[in-house]
């Protein structure tokens, strides 16, 4: 049994991680400022003596005693991270500094939830970890992309300078129950629009592709990463390499929800990458043969069931 801190624990991924860690018999301290997360995501854990919740903003120092830290705190969707871009960069950078400082004091393992956005609009497909990316440093997505890149830099300098046991995972698009219904992420957007019978918004011509990982597969990878030997620092890509165009995704969602929604095309936002697909060869090697197991149709079914309940449709 370990004492484990999860920052951003009341968010989409964080709540699933807290749940899984509590189920595995650990004591979990969930820290969140509820910017995009909510108490309802972890309400079912509140009565559990192994679970503790603390309202805290990671841009301020935190003094607690734990054995491991998963650092997930950061708004993840463009709508939310562009709402207050200065705060977004602060959350990534100051948050990393504060959590790394805490980990150093405690000699605790620390895992960073980094992102495929560190690759920017890539010229290489699929993206291996050795690719340095093509990121606009001054665009509207930069607060998130560069904030996450700087956080990775800090993690690796703590490793080189202090031998702090770090783990960095680069997460590719992940979806599932407890995604925020209005945050503009494509899977939740399409499902909510389909369930409400509204037109499904496609940016550009819909030929841009993404890969979608179901949340349970991702959480499994994060836990396996935390348990790797000390010399495995990452960065390690985690995601599902299956590639789908926005048009294909929209058609699947319409079919699975039996919706009468039609497609509505809008101009592509700036810096929107045309293709994004993980190379998960390294993850397979260092995470004991890990690979995604939940197919898109099955994951969409579970996510649709969640949104049906949440939207009461
Ligand atoms: N879901 C994905 O597809 C995806 C992809 C790449 C990376 N990630 C990363 O995974 C992490 C979790 O993402 P998510 O999809 O669960 O998003 P989310 O918005 O649901 O979760 C983020 C959580 O962090 C909290 N938070 C934000 N700023 C904070 C602060 N200053 N102090 C404390 N808490 C704060 C939010 O309230 C929220 O609960 C993020 O770091 C994100 O960048 C997610």
Q: Active-site residue 214, yes or no? A: no
Q: Is the CB of 143 under 6 A from ligand 1?
A: no
pLDDT digits (tens, 9 = 90+) for 252-292: 999 999 999 999 999 987 667 677 789 999 999 999 999 99
Answer whether 145's CB lies under 8 Å from 116's CB. no
Q: Which whole number is the average pLDDT over 122-138?
A: 94
CA of 262 to the centre of ligand 1 (A): 31
User: Following CA atoms 289, 172, 106, 63 in sequence, which dihedral angle do they give, to the nearest 10 degrees?
Assistant: -150
How many angstroms separate the alpha carbon of residue 190 from the centre of ligand 1?
Answer: 20
pLDDT tens digits, one per residue of 282-309: 999 999 999 999 999 999 999 999 999 9
Residues 244, 299: contact at Cβ < 8 Å?
Answer: no
CA distances (Å), 208 to each of 100, 107, 115, 234, 243, in order?
Answer: 36, 43, 19, 28, 10
For ligand 1, say whether the CB of 13 is within 6 Å of any of its atoms: yes
List Cα–Cα distances, 122 to 140, 262, 277, in angstroms. 17, 31, 10
Whether 10 lines ligand 1, by a CB cut-off of 6 Å, is yes
134: CA distance to ligand 1 center in Å? 23
Of the candidates 119, 144, 158, 214, the residue annotated as catalytic is 144
For tokens 């969707």, the residue is: 77
Ligand 1 pocket check for 217: Cβ under 6 Å: no
142 contacts 88 by C-beta, under 8 angstroms = no
| 20 Rama class: left (phi>0) / alpha (psi -120 to 50) / beta | alpha
Cα 255 to middle of ligand 1, angstroms? 30
What pLDDT was estimated at residue 244?
94
């Amino acid at each position: 049994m370990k004492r484990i801190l999860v920052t951003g624990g009341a968010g989409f991924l964080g709540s699933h991680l807290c749940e899984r860690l509590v189920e595995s018999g650990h004591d979990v301290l969930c820290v969140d400022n509820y910017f995009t997360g909510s108490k309802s995501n972890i309400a079912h854990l509140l009565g559990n003596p192994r679970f503790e919740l603390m309202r805290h903003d990671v841009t301020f120092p935190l003094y607690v005693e734990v054995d491991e830290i998963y650092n997930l705190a950061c708004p993840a969707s463009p709508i939310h991270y562009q709402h207050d871009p200065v705060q977004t960069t602060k959350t990534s950078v100051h948050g990393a500094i504060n959590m790394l400082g805490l980990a150093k004091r405690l000699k605790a393992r620390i895992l960073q939830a980094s992102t495929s956005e560190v690759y920017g609009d890539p010229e290489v497909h699929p993206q291996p970890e050795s690719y340095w990316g093509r990121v606009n440093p001054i665009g509207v997505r930069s607060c998130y992309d560069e904030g996450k890149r700087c956080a990775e830099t800090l993690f690796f300098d703590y490793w080189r300078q202090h031998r702090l046991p770090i783990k960095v995972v680069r997460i590719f698009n992940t979806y599932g129950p407890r995604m925020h219904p209005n945050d503009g992420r494509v899977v939740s957007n399409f499902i909510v629009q389909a369930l409400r019978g509204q037109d499904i918004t496609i940016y550009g011509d819909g030929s841009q592709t993404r890969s979608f990982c179901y949340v349970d597969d991702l959480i499994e990878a994060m836990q396996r990463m935390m348990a790797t030997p000390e010399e495995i620092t990452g960065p390690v890509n985690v995601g599902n390499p299956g590639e789908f165009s926005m048009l294909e995704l929209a058609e699947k969602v319409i079919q699975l929800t039996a919706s009468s929604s039609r497609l509505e095309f809008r101009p592509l936002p700036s810096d929107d990458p045309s293709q994004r697909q993980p190379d998960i060869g390294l993850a397979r090697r260092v995470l004991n043969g890990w690979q995604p197991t939940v197919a898109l149709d099955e994951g969409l079914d579970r996510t649709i069931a969640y949104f049906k309940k949440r939207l009461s449709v």
